[in-house]
Structure 1
Amino acid sequence: MRVIPIADTSAPAAGSCDEDTGEVRPVSLPLARRDFLKGSGLLFGSLATGSLLAGLAPSTAWALELKKLTSAEGAALMAMGRVLYPHEKLPDAVYALLAKD
């Protein structure tokens, strides 16, 4: 049987409480208040912009009402659009606009 030694935990880590006196050691952080506010403002700004763009992006669920074409003709137009204008990242909803009456 192999014995794995347990690390010595007698030296408390920085910021932990000394159990004998109850004193909490100060932790030195290189982050100033101004840097924190600047970084959090950038973070929340990018999150808000990303969620706005995600709301405007076309969804994967779509339906298109065909007034003059049959569904077979609409599917044929979509297939033709994929052949003429191939793109890896365009969803079917973009190609469905070709068949829109």
Structure 2
Amino acid sequence: MKNQVTTIYKQAERFAEITKTAIISGNIVRAKKCLALAERLYITGSYETKSAISNVYVFSVSSFMELRHCTISDLFPKSLKAEYSKQIHASGV
């Protein structure tokens, strides 16, 4: 298959792209649904799933939103927002 995604990290990357596309197109309802699903995966997933959501998805979506001057706190669910805050404080920003 041409579009087959092979690893959990590639899947998280693709999911982040879908979320960013929803934000770009102004489909905030869909973006919030994506973020809610990512939150559920982060809370209930395996260690590898949590790692992929944190290191790939949250990083990608939050970086994109900052570059476009979007307000992250309005969209990110509680656990993802906490993970985002940890990343910001760890980086020294």
The structure with more radius of gyration: 1
Question: Which structure carries more helix by proportion?
Answer: 2
Give the structure-1-normalised TM-score. Answer: 0.21
